[in-house]
Amino acid sequence: MRSVVVSNVMKAYAGHPVLKGVDLAVGEGRIAALLGPSGCGKTTLLRLIAGFDRVDDGLISIDGAVVSGEGRHEPAERRRVGYVPQEGALFPHLTVAGNVGFGLARRDRTPARIAEALALVGCAALGDRYPHQLSGGQQQRVALARALAPRPRLVVLDEPFNGLDLDLRRAVAADVTATLRRTRASAILVTHDPEEAFASADLVAVMHAGRIAQAADPRTVYLTPASPEVARITGAAIFLDATVSAGRATTPLGMADLGAVAEGVNGRASLCLRPEQIVLARPDGGRAAKVVDMSFRGDHSLLTVVVDDRRLNVRAPAAFEADASGLVHLAIAGPCVAFLPS
């Protein structure tokens, strides 16, 4: 059963198209991450799903019922979609309990329901505090409790961890994901952080130029991106000129195995690698490259090397030291993806 289905949704602001035919399906109890660069339309799509705005064209259905499109626009308060907005989302003049109770219908606004929602996010003891008396992580947990309190069919979260520093961000994201899984809520999380998307979601929907460019499990989008843009949005990507023949690519760094080949690619191609796929090799098993810079990064050393006039960044072990020749030998590890030359 699909919890949310978005089909061919279009939205323009003042004649400027933002969503140009978005398709997305999120299964019941699944967590999807909507990943894309700033301004690509992630918030716009979330607002359409929550019902805060109307679609220009296309359909949105939740649990099998059309909520947007075909002349219908179910109002936000009837969609049973919990919304966790960007930072600063709590009402400052209400206590934590008041904030959580705010979204509940009057008959449901009982101390027991509020306590239940706060317990879900591990904040049972904080009901009497005001938002300014909470840490950033606690504020985001309370914002999730407020969204979960009415027992929604779907929870949508718009970059909820943006205001938190990196360590806290990872921890709060893990807690929030665990809570969503415990409550078996379907969820859509907007983020521009690939690692957050991979760690949190069953399905990563990569948004580019007003459409979903690829939607698949995290491993698939990272290891076999559907386009060069998807490769760049989902992490660091290095592109090498290559010649493709019989499932292998010849590159300035030697031969590479191909895991996926974009349609129509044969002969000249652009090979897409992740940084960790360029590895140090023995002299007899790799191409020589000149080390022109080295920067110690704690868990690894980042080498800048030149091979065939091309500068590349390569990760080496933290303890790496260049020998007197100033050369390293490089090879390509693991299957790569080939695209048409750009």
Kindly state the smallest distance separating residue 12's Cβ from ligand ATP, in Å.
Answer: 9
Kindly state the smallest distance separating residue 84's Cβ from ligand ATP, in Å.
Answer: 14
Kindly state the smallest distance separating residue 53's Cβ from ligand ATP, in Å.
Answer: 8
- The whole-angstrom separation of Cα 328 and Cα 283 is 8
Kindly state the smallest distance separating residue 18's Cβ from ligand ATP, in Å.
Answer: 4
Shorter beta-carbon distance to ligand ATP: residue 39 or 92? 39
Kindly state the smallest distance separating residue 232's Cβ from ligand ATP, in Å.
Answer: 15
- Interaction with ligand ATP in 176-205: which residues (CB under 6 A)? 192
Burial group, residue 165, by CB count within 10 angstroms (0-12, 13-18, 19+): exposed
Binding mask 19-48 for ligand ATP (x = CB under 6 A): -----------------x-xxxxxxx----
Query: Which residue, chain included where needed, has tokens 């938190």?
Result: 164
- The whole-angstrom separation of Cα 24 and Cα 304 is 40
- The DSSP 8-state label assigned to residue 313 in this structure reads E
Torsion of CA 42, 11, 180, 63, to 10 degrees: -160
Under rule CB under 6 A, residue 13 binds ligand ATP: yes
Query: Which residue, chain included where needed, has tokens 């904040």?
Result: 123
- The DSSP 8-state label assigned to residue 181 in this structure reads H
Under rule CB under 6 A, residue 301 binds ligand ATP: no
Under rule CB under 6 A, residue 80 binds ligand ATP: no
The residue count for the chain: 342
Number of residues that bind ligand ATP (CB under 6 A): 12
Kindly state the smallest distance separating residue 191's Cβ from ligand ATP, in Å.
Answer: 9
- The DSSP 8-state label assigned to residue 77 in this structure reads G
Measured in degrees and rounded to the nearest 5, phi and psi for residue 43 equal -65, -40
- The whole-angstrom separation of Cα 266 and Cα 45 is 37
Near ligand ATP by CB under 6 A: residue from 7, 10, 17, 18: 18
Shorter beta-carbon distance to ligand ATP: residue 13 or 91? 13
Shorter beta-carbon distance to ligand ATP: residue 43 or 270? 43
Contact positions toward ligand ATP, by CB under 6 A?
13-14, 18, 36, 38-44, 192
